[in-house]
Each structure stands twice: as structure tokens, then as C-alpha cells.
Structure 1
Amino acid sequence: MLALDDVLAWGESLDQLLECKTGKLVFEDFLRTEYSEENLLFWLACEDYKKITSMTEREAGAKKIYTEFVQVDALKQINIDCVTREEISENISQPGPNCFDRAQRLIYRLMENDCYPRFLKSEIYQALLEQAEQQ
């Protein structure tokens, strides 16, 4: 059962939603219905990537993110401008801890201004809100 406080908090900000494990899962389910879950998956991959301290692991992590989300024919290609994509491509051989920061900010803004408002109006969120209020 979801607590009403949690479900209400998701409606306050995208940050609140992403800080909650259940919130992330529900948001991912919603994004999947819109065929845009790659945004959230990329954002989460970047969050994990920033925690990597080993250079070897960082290089492997950066290549994985690049292959999965950034390169032009990536299976889960994210919608970023060509300058940002080019910048990542140039840095991928020597990836720093912040090499995806610009793209991550762009994707966060896209989710915040586009997907998140639709999520709040969605049947998925409205049903959870109703369910939590009835407890």
C-alpha cells in the first residue's frame, strides 16, 4: 500500500518523485506507455555513473551509457542536441565524472517540463492518488 504522503509528494516536484523508489517505478511505467522511458533510464544511469570512483569502471560505465543512450543509432536514443551529443562523443575516450552532466540536465528539463506534467494528469497517477486517499 502506498502512503498518501508519498503519492502527494510526487505531485510537488519531479525531484520528490525521483527520490522515492516506488515513485521512480511508477513514473517509468508511465513513460513506457508514452515510449519515452529512455529519458528516465538515462537520467538514472547518469546518477549511478557519478558515483563511480574507479577509472576503469568509469570508462566502462561511460561506454555503456554512450552505446545505450547517446550514439545516433542507440536502441534507447535520448533526444539531445547535436552539440551535446558531439561533446560527449569527443570525451568518451577519457570520460570524467561529469561527462554526461549537460545531457543529463537537458533530459531532466525535458522530463520536468514535458513528461512530468503529463504524468500528474495521467490515469496511473490519478488512480494511485485516489487509492491512497481512501486508506
Structure 2
Amino acid sequence: MAPVDVVAWGESLDQLLECETGQLVFEDFLRTEYSEENLLFWQACEGYKKITCETERMAAAKRIYAEFVQVDALRQINIDCVTRGEISENISQPGPNCFDRAQRLIYGLMENDCYPRFLKSEIYQALLEQAEQQ
């Protein structure tokens, strides 16, 4: 991992998420806080938006819904009931933007809550220290 990457992760959540290693380190951190479902959902949405085949999209939408959105889902994300309801209504005919609103909410949650804690975490601070010594 390049020292430049580690420093860039501290500039914005976008910089962190643009880097595969950054995502892995962030996921490790989130796991310590029992909130990795936020990043996993965000990643699933990023992949979902790239699906062009309607059959594949429908299967992916149902999988994302079952894992993250439905009430009592194994990795239920923290979204409001209106957004959850919208997704529930559209899940039978999911469009490419089916999860956009929920993804924006989760991104905001990560940006304002998890990400600032990540920057102060021992995990990130240790990597930053290593990067600065190189």
C-alpha cells in the first residue's frame, strides 16, 4: 500500500472508498464497531448499479433486500421507514436506481459518524505513522 493512499484516505470518505485497500481497512475498523453492514451495503449498491441484465438485477436486488433492507435482515442497515417502504414496494420490479436513496443515507451515516471515528482509530493512526516514516 502506497503511503500516498493512506494520507489521501484522511482527506475524504470518497478517497478512502476509491481505494480497494482503503475499503478493506475501513471494513476491518467497522467490524470492530459492529457496523460493517454499512460499507457492505454501499459496496453491494455499487455493484448493483453496474448490472445491465434484468434477470441478474432482479436476483441481486432481492439478495440485497434480504441481507440489508428487510426488517430483521441479518445485516439490517439503519434507514428510515419511508425509504425501507419505498424499496419494499419496488423490489418486485427493481430499477437500476432502486437503492440510491438508501445508499445516499448510508453514505451520509458513514461520512458523518463512522469515518471521523475511523480517522481517530488506532488502525488508521498506525498506518498513517508507517506511511509518514517511508
TM-score (norm 1): 0.98
Report the counterpart of residue 128 of structure 1 in structure 2. 127
Cα drift, residue 99 of structure 1: 0.4
Q: How does 1:1-135 map to 2 (within 5 A)?
A: 2-135=1-134
Query: Residue 53 of structure 2 aligns to which amino acid in structure 1?
Result: S
Cα RMSD, aligned residues only: 0.5
What is the CA-CA distance between 1:132 and the residue it aligns to?
1.2
d(CA) in 1 for partners of 2:64, 2:31: 19
The ranges of structure 1 where at least 4 consecutive aligned residues each deviate by more than 4 angstroms after the TM superposition are: none
Query: 1:133 Cα deviation (Å)?
Result: 1.2
Aligned length: 134
| Percent identity of equivalent pairs | 87
Ranges in structure 2 where 5+ consecutive residues have no aligned partner = none
Q: Is the 8 A contact 2:7 2:131 kept in 1?
A: no
Gaps of 5+ in 1: none
Q: TM-score, normalised by structure 2?
A: 0.99
Distance 1:63 1:27 in 2: 26
